[in-house]
A = this chain, B = another copy of it.
Amino acid sequence: MPKTERWQWYVEEFSPAELHHHALNHVHYAGRTAFQDVGVVESAAFGKMLILDGDTQSSQADERIYHEALVHPAMAAAADRSQVLILGGGEGATLREVLRHAGVQRATMVDIDGEVVELSKRFLPEWSAGAFNDPRANVIVGDALEFLDEDRGSYGVVISDLTEPLEGSPSNPLFCDAVFKQIKARLQRGGVYVLQASTAGFHNLSLHAKMARTLRRHYAHVVSYVTHVPAFDNDWAFLACSDAADASHLEERAVAEYCSQLSGENFFYDAETHRRIFALPLYLRRALAKDGETF
């Protein structure tokens, strides 16, 4: 990159003492919706990136690591995948991954921020890759709280693709026992509820552990799994919750069979990757075994 094209930078602040600087080739969009600050940029290292409230949501170069990790273990472990509910997921990539399985009859996605959905369609079409036009997609722009109050559906898989529940974030009110109960009420017997569940580095795993501890009050199996996502600059954790299925004990054969049913090719996930992400480093298992705060 010549000097003259290196004046625009995206600085992600992990803490006031740790910053990550990305040189930008272009800023496609920068503005505010009714709910959050939005940036769509093009970085030299990761291609297009979606930034919400200053935090990287996904990058063109590695969003498949994140979205395959979020969607497929739960889908593979669930007894039935015909009805899927997605909370959040405005970019459309979670929806895209869900719809890659022909067994899905209806994928209902509820995102509060319709402007992010529209910006994603416009600037990040590679993320949804046509999923918004799939007849099986039921995209609702609205508050997940209100949706859960009124919905009477029943789902084999519920996927929470919400931003971090930070103070002031639109996802903050969704992290509490009352909402976790409503979600469970919508889950079929044999169903799996999966969440993107914050960072899992040795130095930033407390929010993840708090989520895990809270959800153990609701499900027999609450399983953490973790993968590195380069654009996030962190090991990223997920939680697969179920009363029936323990996703960490899924047989290799079952994962392989599930993957063979997907249209297109995976970039990240298969049976060996499943083994990797569900085998946790010792320090994380120790931290998850401790008592502590809950929501």
> Is residue A135 contacting chain B, with contact meaning CB distance below 8 A?
no
Q: Which residue of B lies closest to A51 (CB)?
A: B7
Contact assessment for B22 and A30 in the assembled complex, using a CB-CB cutoff below 8 Å: no
Contact assessment for A280 and B276 in the assembled complex, using a CB-CB cutoff below 8 Å: yes
A4–B235 CA distance with the chains assembled, in angstroms: 22
A252–B141 CA distance with the chains assembled, in angstroms: 48
> Is residue A190 contacting chain B, with contact meaning CB distance below 8 A?
no
Give A230 Cβ to nearest chain B Cβ, in Å.
Answer: 4
Q: Give a binary string over A1-25; 1 marks a CB under 8 Å from any B CB, 0 the rest.
A: 1011111111111111111111100
Contact assessment for A7 and B45 in the assembled complex, using a CB-CB cutoff below 8 Å: no
Chain B residues in 8 Å Cβ range of A238: none
Chain B residues in 8 Å Cβ range of A6: 11, 13, 16-17, 54
Interface positions, chain A 65-104, Cβ under 8 Å from B, are: 65
Q: Among the listed stretches A36-44, A106-114, A173-181, which one makes contact with chain B, having 4 or more residues with CB under 8 Å of it? A: A36-44
Contact assessment for A18 and B23 in the assembled complex, using a CB-CB cutoff below 8 Å: yes
Which listed residue, B23, B228, B266, B275, touches A279 by the CB 8 Å rule?
A: B275
Which listed residue, B3, B8, B37, B277, touches A39 by the CB 8 Å rule?
A: B8
Given A7-B12, A13-B3, residue A202 in contact with residue B61 (CB < 8 A): yes
Chain B residues in 8 Å Cβ range of A273: 279-282
A interface residues with partner B (beta carbon < 8 Å): 1, 3-23, 26-27, 30-31, 36-37, 39, 43-46, 51, 53-54, 61-62, 65, 201-203, 227-228, 230, 233-235, 266-270, 272-273, 275-277, 279-283, 285
Contact assessment for B281 and A266 in the assembled complex, using a CB-CB cutoff below 8 Å: no
A268–B279 CA distance with the chains assembled, in angstroms: 12
- 6 CB contacts below 8 A, A to B, read A6-B54, A15-B45, A228-B228, A273-B282, A275-B279, A279-B279
Given A22-B17, A285-B272, residue A54 in contact with residue B202 (CB < 8 A): no
Give A178 Cβ to nearest chain B Cβ, in Å.
Answer: 27
Chain B residues in 8 Å Cβ range of A21: 9, 18-21
Which listed residue, B20, B37, B201, B227, touches A20 by the CB 8 Å rule?
A: B20
Q: Which residue of B lies closest to A1 (CB)?
A: B17
A7–B53 CA distance with the chains assembled, in angstroms: 8
Give A274 Cβ to nearest chain B Cβ, in Å.
Answer: 8
Q: Which residue of B lies closest to A275 (CB)?
A: B279
Contact assessment for A8 and B27 in the assembled complex, using a CB-CB cutoff below 8 Å: yes
Q: Which residue of B lies closest to A38 (CB)?
A: B4
Q: Which residue of B lies closest to A43 (CB)?
A: B17
